[in-house]
Structure 1
């Protein structure tokens, strides 16, 4: 969370006269639509923290640009056209709203996009149960089918305050390593992927695993069951089909989400 935003760089007159869709490539527009859908889906699932937290996606092409939300818009106000394009160095390339971006969001997302070109999308939340698990010493517990699927795949990053220090990027990347899911201690959850669809699938499963953990712990003194190591290994192997983001299950999951979203909301496509 931050009240600091990067300064917007206004497009030239020729750019202003064209719609965002007309001035970007078809490949970029497709990513914009998917990222906007991810924002709307997060709002639908109540994963938002007002105007704070952020989802981002790398812009296809040779430039190190990524898309992120304008600072001040609610998740259910995000559209394909009002996403802000920024480069790895923090220069805003295109800001249709003129609102700039959340600087803490830039620090976190530029760190991962800069170091991990294999990860197209990076999604970060401040949900109640996600933060609750992040504040527990043992982190995500292997007590549900959902959490077991992340066995050996969750990184942890210690809390350093609001992410306004560019030096933290090095530690974020070091803690993430070769993983694509991270719990930010005392802060929230982060899930990345080779596509927006993959990242959202990972976040959906991680959020639900945290929901289950907090619900199970709410029973008080009831003893939790931890599956034996052989079962953990079995589920870890079974979940591998979702790890690289290219299996048919990812597309099925995303397509079902879009059908759910579009029963009430299609504005995100504009």
Structure 2
């Protein structure tokens, strides 16, 4: 039996409901499609929550229309090839304060330019950056591309550094790569090349700091991406504030950094952080779930 929850019905298209409910479809297909819908809806709610959470954080408002977060999931479009993932992302021109689970759009992973479900494609730079990085990493779940004030300031420095100067930054130890080459994603004929180049620059790291641009944060889970995003920007503020004193940072022994990082993984702190932020933002903006 296919179980359709009430909040699903509020956001499903007529076509989607027909497909799920049709007695003419085989039971195996209905089970598979129902499972895909449930995963898609959960990811939509979690991603919508991330857009609202990050928009509420100081220093992130500059990207509220032209920055972008994606999550890899199963498509809600019954006509999309079975087994192929899509990327959930905000549509072009939608303010982050307007994002809800149902107004996120779906694009293909391979190019980012094929609209699978929704009313509009994301902005071109979202397709370039996200498809390039997700395409090469089938395990990736979330990718957040942002221009928050402090990490963007570091990206604009000559020979930028990101020292791990506080225990809470230990989760970023050996996770950051710097891209020293700035090239506009709007250059004609360069959009496909740029996505592949950024993917190569990121390598096996979780964070890519783009020269004169901002940062991309990759997560195996949505919780990882959100936690990395918060601490990356908070740490950047800490580093810039410390540098402004003109004094050297007190160093932390690498073994202590590694021990603390191991502890954050053991106690699943990224997931705890995400769930707490999600509860708060849903209470503040309950409409984001629909």
TM value normalised by structure 1 = 0.83
* Residues 1:91 and 2:141 are matched in the alignment: no
- Residue correspondence of structure 1 range 107-146 to structure 2 within 5 A: 107-136=128-157, 137-146=159-168
CA contact (8 A) 1:32 1:67 kept: yes
Which among 261, 273, 282 is matched to residue 262 of structure 1? 282
- From 95, 103, 106, the equivalent of 1:74 is 95
**Residues in 2 aligned to 1:25 and 1:178: alpha-carbon distance in whole angstroms:** 31
Q: CA deviation at 1:151?
A: 2.4
1:39 aligns with 2:51: yes
Partner of 1:3: none
1:199-256 CA distance string (max 9 Å, x none)? 101111111111111222233x3x122415xx1232134213556xx85222211121
Report the CA distance shift for 1:186/1:83 in structure 2 as closer, same or farther (over 3 A): same
Cα offset for 1:16? 4.8
Change (3 A) 1:252 1:127: same
Higher alpha-carbon Rg: 2
- Check conservation: 2:156, 2:211, Cα contact below 8 A: yes
Task: Go from structure 1 to structure 2 and tell me whether the alpha carbon gap of 1:93 and 1:60 turns closer, same or farther (over 3 Å shift).
Answer: closer
Moved >4 Å (runs of 4+): none
Deviation of 1:181 after TM superposition, in Å, equals 1.5
Asked whether the 8 Å contact 1:159–1:187 carries over to 2, the reply is no
Q: Deviations over 1:92-120 (max 9, x none)?
A: 1112xx33211111100001110011110
Change (3 A) 1:76 1:18: farther
Q: Runs of 5+ in structure 2 lacking a partner?
A: 1-11, 21-35, 76-82
- When the two chains are superposed, the root-mean-square deviation of aligned CA atoms in Å is 2.3
Over 3 Å counting, the alpha-carbon distance change for 1:237 and 1:170 in structure 2 is farther
Q: Distance in 2 between matches of 1:32 and 1:259?
A: 15
Residues 1:247 and 1:118: Cα distance change in structure 2 (over 3 Å):
farther
Counting matched residue pairs gives 247
User: Which residue, out of 152, 165, 185, partners 1:163?
Assistant: 185
Superposed, 1:1-270 pairs within 5 Å as 16-18=13-15, 25-46=37-58, 47-48=60-61, 49-60=63-74, 62-87=83-108, 88-89=110-111, 90-95=113-118, 98-136=119-157, 137-164=159-186, 165-219=191-245, 221=246, 223-227=247-251, 231-242=253-264, 247-270=267-290
Q: Pick the structure with more helix per residue.
A: 2
